[in-house]
Structure 1
């Protein structure tokens, strides 16, 4: 029995992309796939208890598969010399201390700061608390970008998450006010940098629907199409994507952008939930620039932790 379970675990790691996504099961499994390593010592204990050499040998498959997928994340790949520090934080619409969260973010030393899930009532608090450190900022709907460098060409990105019958009839200014993604240009000393800020739809459990990912998946596809059409060679995407890069729904983005955490971080960089992070759903993805370092900042008043990266030209 333990040998069979070990082989099944190994096959899951190697063939997870073939797992049917009926009612979101595929996405759910992929989101927490790194934690599958916890089953290896459990199965090993069972094999030793049963004195089963075949079960112990079968465990090589999931162990090697897991190291192939995630072993590279265990090493510290950070290097000094970043030109620009970027931070992304879902500040939580129910955050009881927006001003305190803003002060924590200022202390991060970020040159460019993206916020998601900005409550309209809390927006003035963030603007006042961040004004001195960040003279340039833009907010569209529930997402915003604060910068020490000038911004231009700012506009909403249609992530196609409002698909109701009246969505297409909304005026442009109303759609901008409801926006969950924006694109702007940051003027750096090395040239223009296209920056996207996004908060994709939440993943929910619905009776009869199971693990519901429809809004998130539509948003991910639309955002990937926007990035594919981006004319600037240098791109940074900051945001709460409500999914890990193992999740098949983010494959379009993962094919066009690189994860700062995977290329220059130390560990998995889990960011959610803040009290005990088990998944990295807050992402910093790049194209045309080189990540030098990536890390997770201490918890604020939000249910997410901020994520940061240093990038270089």
Structure 2
């Protein structure tokens, strides 16, 4: 067997150039060799270690944080995924402080965050499904309702829910969607458009005094599906009152009761719930339904605000239905992103 010849690049003194990997290993070896000889590596960074421990406890025990003062628990749960950004910041500070104590403790919040949200970092999308659904808070002040309607209809959704519909703009949405959807109904400020027949349309009382939720039976080729559309009250973050969400919480409980009493086996909820799946205030709904984003999405699927999405408050949730794929749609003239999902129906229902 002939020997294979290798060409070796040399530098001016005849030696081989240092490879990037070797250089990094040498720097790491020098760094930690120096740390071992430094007696202060265990004493320094105690404050950083305490902060890392507190961060881990907040993420781990968020469900036990009290809501009595400013709904602090719900506020934390709304933005819970973003607490993970503190981990690399603490890591850099620990390296700057040359603190082994802090470096070790920082592993705790990293592990907790991965346990909570690591599953969302993988793509769980499937290729199957029988029904595509979408929902969009179109914004009452939308300057171009027709373009927004056309944009979300381009998603190919078989069932489309719209929220925050002002009465003056309803005819515009109806006209723009008429060629795609043969069936539709508007109740108060929410509407439902469907390619399949709809029956049993009625308002759902979510204790507001005006209509912002509805229910309909959509007869698909694979059986009837109960479709709920809801726009729960907005929440506010105020300096003097914290996270004010009492009306939202009351409406969420009422919506949960209505879904619990639903006679059909297959249920889909579409809407702007003004809350994330982590928010305990939505337990009346989330305890009995699955999020399509969590079950069949890729990433967090943040939908609000559209300019820089920070939270998933626009939800597609299912019961008795199998999520296959979930995604966000391109931005429209609204301050929310539309969201869509593909689901598989139970042909035996």
Indicate whether the TM-score tops 0.5.
Answer: yes
Equivalent position of 2:56 in the other structure: 10
In 1, Cα distance between equivalents of 2:165 and 2:173: 9
In 2, Cα distance between equivalents of 1:74 and 1:252: 27
Equivalence map 1:227-306=2 (5 Å) = 227-306=259-338
Offset at 1:272? Answer: 0.3
Equivalent position of 1:49 in the other structure: 96
Equivalent position of 2:169 in the other structure: 122
Does the 8 Å CA contact 1:115/1:143 hold for their aligned counterparts? Answer: yes
The correspondence for 1:188, drawn from 204, 220, 224, is 220
Does the 8 Å CA contact 1:77/1:265 hold for their aligned counterparts? Answer: yes
Offset at 1:57? Answer: 0.6
Equivalent position of 2:8 in the other structure: none
SS in 1 for 2:61: helix
Q: Provide Cα deviations, 1:18-73, integer angstroms capped at 9, x if missing partner.
A: 11111122111110010011100100111111111111111111011000000000
In 1, Cα distance between equivalents of 2:58 and 2:214: 36
Offset at 1:206? Answer: 4.5
Count residues with an aligned counterpart. Answer: 298
Q: Unpaired segments of 5 or more residues in structure 2?
A: 1-46
Whether 2:87 is the aligned partner of 1:40: answer yes
Does the 8 Å CA contact 1:161/1:216 hold for their aligned counterparts? Answer: no
Whether 2:254 is the aligned partner of 1:218: answer no
Q: Provide Cα deviations, 1:151-188, integer angstroms capped at 9, x if missing partner.
A: 000101000123xxxxxxxxxxxxxxx31000000001
Does the 8 Å CA contact 1:20/1:26 hold for their aligned counterparts? Answer: yes
SS in 2 for 1:256: coil
The correspondence for 1:141, drawn from 185, 188, 197, is 188
In 2, Cα distance between equivalents of 1:273 and 1:209: 22
Equivalent position of 2:203 in the other structure: 156
In 1, Cα distance between equivalents of 2:105 and 2:208: 44
Does the 8 Å CA contact 1:157/1:179 hold for their aligned counterparts? Answer: yes
Equivalent position of 1:165 in the other structure: none
In 1, Cα distance between equivalents of 2:284 and 2:55: 26
Report the RMSD for the aligned CA atoms in angstroms: 0.9
Offset at 1:207? Answer: 6.2
Equivalent position of 1:168 in the other structure: none
Q: Provide Cα deviations, 1:173-219, integer angstroms capped at 9, x if missing partner.
A: xxxxx310000000011111000000000002356433210111011
Equivalent position of 2:15 in the other structure: none
Normalised to the residue count of structure 2, the TM-score between the two structures is 0.84
SS in 2 for 1:197: strand
Does the 8 Å CA contact 1:240/1:282 hold for their aligned counterparts? Answer: yes
Q: Which runs of 4+ in 1 moved over 2 A?
A: 205-210
Larger radius of gyration: 2
Could you say which structure has the greater relative contact order, defined with CA pairs below 8 angstroms and 6 or more residues apart?
1
